[in-house]
Amino acid sequence: MPKISLKKINSLKKNKIGISALTSYDASFAKLADNCGIDIILVGDSLGEVIQGNPNTHSVTMNDMCYHTKIVSRGIKKALLIADMPKNSYKTKSQALKNAKKLIAKNMADMVKIEFKEKDTEVIKHLISNNILVCSHIGILPQTIENKSSYKKVGKTIHEANRLINEAMLIEKLGSQMLIVECIDEQVAKIISGKLHIPVIGIGSGKSCDGQIRVIYDIFEISFNGVPGFLKPKNKKLNPMKKILEKYITNTNKYKL
């Protein structure tokens, strides 16, 4: 099966077929997700938390992103691969282009992702004019917050809702080919998905987006800093990975030494 194209992703939105996306940080998990038929894999700077054990994403470097993008790309045959631009990697147009090219080089990432702030308008235009595919990100912006207590739903007020809708429409106008909306009010996410022609992928933003993205470690309930509230299981049954590991330990303890 050939690698999924952006055109194919767009057709899923057009035909109202939910788009599936996951983060991945290594070749094995990437291969697992790819073999299961995932549409999009994101090498997220969330690796700062789930892989490096830090309280946030702020210390992730371009070297970190290039390394993980390279190894993830080895596990992918079909999925569209997006790589995060880490904090402080796109302060200027020239810096952004230089770093984006590193992530795209040698067929690693197909697209880069930027946490959008108004000052990034020219950066996005510059990347797109240089044939770099861009996914923008609005709502909660992990690169600007310090801890988990700051993860609060946005878009509940009329002012916030209008700001988010206007940002989304501007992002499409600038030429971004995809949008991630994180932890925004479900009704606002629904409006944005309806207004935009590009795919809108949600995380903690309700079921009305064109697709959903999750941190793969959150799905398996093994993230270092805990699972987000919107993903916490309703029952307290042991998660499958922990159950398998505990069974292995129990069986090993039965061996005669």
Looking up tokens 């080895």, which residue turns up?
A: 74
CA distance 61 to 78: 27
Q: Is 49 a catalytic residue?
A: no
Contact 206, 186 (CB under 8 A): yes
Give the bridge partners for 200, in sequence order. 179
DSSP state of 184: B
CA distance 57 to 61: 9
Contact 59, 52 (CB under 8 A): yes
The first and second tokens of residue 49, run together, are 């938390």
The first and second tokens of residue 23, run together, are 């983060």
Q: Which of 49, 115, 172, 182 is catalytic?
A: 182
Kindly list the catalytic residues: 182
